[in-house]
Structure 1
Amino acid sequence: MKLQVAIDRVTLDEAVKLTHELDGVVDIIELGTSLIKDYGLLALKDAPFNVQSSEILYDLKTNDEGVYEFEKGFDANADILTVMAGSSLDTIEQVYDVTEKRNKEMLIDLLEVDNNKISEIAGFDNAIYGLHHSKDSKDSFDAVDTLDKFKKNFPDIKKVAVAGGIDLKQAKAIATQGIADTIIVGGKIVKTDNPVDSAKQFMEAIK
């Protein structure tokens, strides 16, 4: 199981600093949508992230203009890019082709789509399917229960990630459950006094 740490709503300098600290400590470092919108791919490409061990994910949340955005994202040194499940099947097919040709990875963000839509897009064998509880949602989120239902409905989907306020207790339960390949954690690591120590605690919890 992999740990993905989401860096969001910070300055570019802070993002670079956090990335250097977490490189090699966690499996995937996510540069969040707010960073991309605040600074743009050109700034991220030129920033001295210099990642040596961890993978880098840019949370583009692509909805349209898929080929253009994915080409630019991979040119800007991303290993993994995200596309929204609510976008058209054509868009998802096109960005998947770009990803495969680049020998990279893509995550399909399943935010606010129903099972009919998931069934329509379930055939991308190398894609990561991300169960994502909206930050704006007022509803509670049970990650273990959500993963269990997802696996029963879509047993053939191979790679699953989950995000949504996951703490150490939930991370341990998800690891024991054995369905998710990746756990995504944001503020419970990067907003703590010592992000590296917090990340190590999560890594110990899921390994």
Structure 2
Amino acid sequence: MKLQLSCDLISIDRAVKLAEDILPFIDIIEMGTPFLLQNGINAVKTFKERFPTKLILADMKIMDSGYEEAKMAFEAGADIVTVLAVSSPNTIRNAIVCAKEFGKEVMADMIEVKNIIERAKFLQDLGIDYICVHTAVDNQKSENPLADLYTLKQSIENARLAVAGGIKLENIDAVICEKPDIVIVGGGLTKAPNPREIARAMKEKMENISRIGKDDEICGV
């Protein structure tokens, strides 16, 4: 189970310092969509050069020009790019083709997908690498990604799943008990007064679950 830091509404200098501070506890560093809009695609290059041992995800949220936009991110050093799962099949397919050429991966963001089981199966048939259940920032007060994560875990075999949307130390237990492949944390780390200790605690919980299965104390089983 991997912990992914999502850099969104912070400066590039602060994001670098944050990543350096919590580096031992994270596996993936995400250049979030607002971060890319503010800093440009070269931010990916900056982070890949600074943190070569970590996976770098460019949250491009591709919805058109699948090959061309994915290529921009991969040429800058991204290991994973995101495509919106509601995009046309050709857009998703072209992003996957590009990823294979570079030896990289594509994550489908399920934000606003209504029939998640049907779409997830379709994405698997296309050859997607990861499926991310995602609650939009604007909906986090009324929605929780845990329900969609549970649904896909129960319904889709062999899918590599990521989960994002309002995850903090206070609510991470319920998420990691479903054993997703990637847990994505943004504000829960970027807004924390002590991000290193929060990241350490999150990673320890994730490692405990991965090692021994559903832990009685954490999952209440």
Q: TM-score, normalised by structure 1?
A: 0.89
Q: Which residue of 1 aligns with 2:212?
A: none
User: In the aligned structure 1, how far is the partner of 2:71 from the partner of 2:163?
Assistant: 25
1:49-86 Cα shifts (integer Å, max 9, x gaps): 51033211111111101111111101111111111011
Shift of 1:150: 1.9
Shift of 1:125: 4.3
1:145-175 Cα shifts (integer Å, max 9, x gaps): 322212333x235200011111224322232
Q: Which residue of 2 aligns with 1:61?
A: 61
Residues 125, 48 of structure 1: CA spacing in aligned structure 2 closer, same or farther, 3 A cutoff? closer
% identical aligned pairs: 33
User: In the aligned structure 2, how far is the partner of 1:190 from the partner of 1:49?
Assistant: 21
Residues 203, 63 of structure 1: CA spacing in aligned structure 2 closer, same or farther, 3 A cutoff? same
Task: Tell me which amino acid in the other structure corresponds to 1:165.
Answer: G
Gaps of 5+ in 1: none
SS of 1:122's partner is helix
User: In the aligned structure 2, how far is the partner of 1:204 from the partner of 1:140?
Assistant: 29
Residues 181, 47 of structure 1: CA spacing in aligned structure 2 closer, same or farther, 3 A cutoff? closer
1:21 aligns with 2:24: no
Shift of 1:177: 2.6
1:105 aligns with 2:98: no
Contact 1:16 / 1:49 at 8 angstroms: preserved in 2? no
Residues 11, 54 of structure 1: CA spacing in aligned structure 2 closer, same or farther, 3 A cutoff? same
Residues 197, 106 of structure 1: CA spacing in aligned structure 2 closer, same or farther, 3 A cutoff? same
Give the length in aligned residue pairs. Answer: 205
More helix by share: 2
Contact 2:163 / 2:183 at 8 angstroms: preserved in 1? yes
Q: Which residue of 2 aligns with 1:182?
A: 182
Extract structure 1 runs of 4+ deviating beyond 4 A: 46-49
SS of 1:130's partner is strand
Contact 1:129 / 1:160 at 8 angstroms: preserved in 2? yes
Q: Which residue of 1 aligns with 2:124?
A: 122
User: In the aligned structure 2, how far is the partner of 1:145 from the partner of 1:46?
Assistant: 36
Shift of 1:47: 6.5
Contact 1:143 / 1:170 at 8 angstroms: preserved in 2? no
1:1-12 matches, cutoff 5 A:
1-12=1-12
1:23-102 matches, cutoff 5 A:
23-46=23-46, 50-102=50-102
Shift of 1:144: 3.5
RMSD (CA atoms): 2.1
SS of 2:50's partner is coil
Q: TM-score, normalised by structure 2?
A: 0.84
SS of 1:71's partner is helix
Shift of 1:45: 2.5
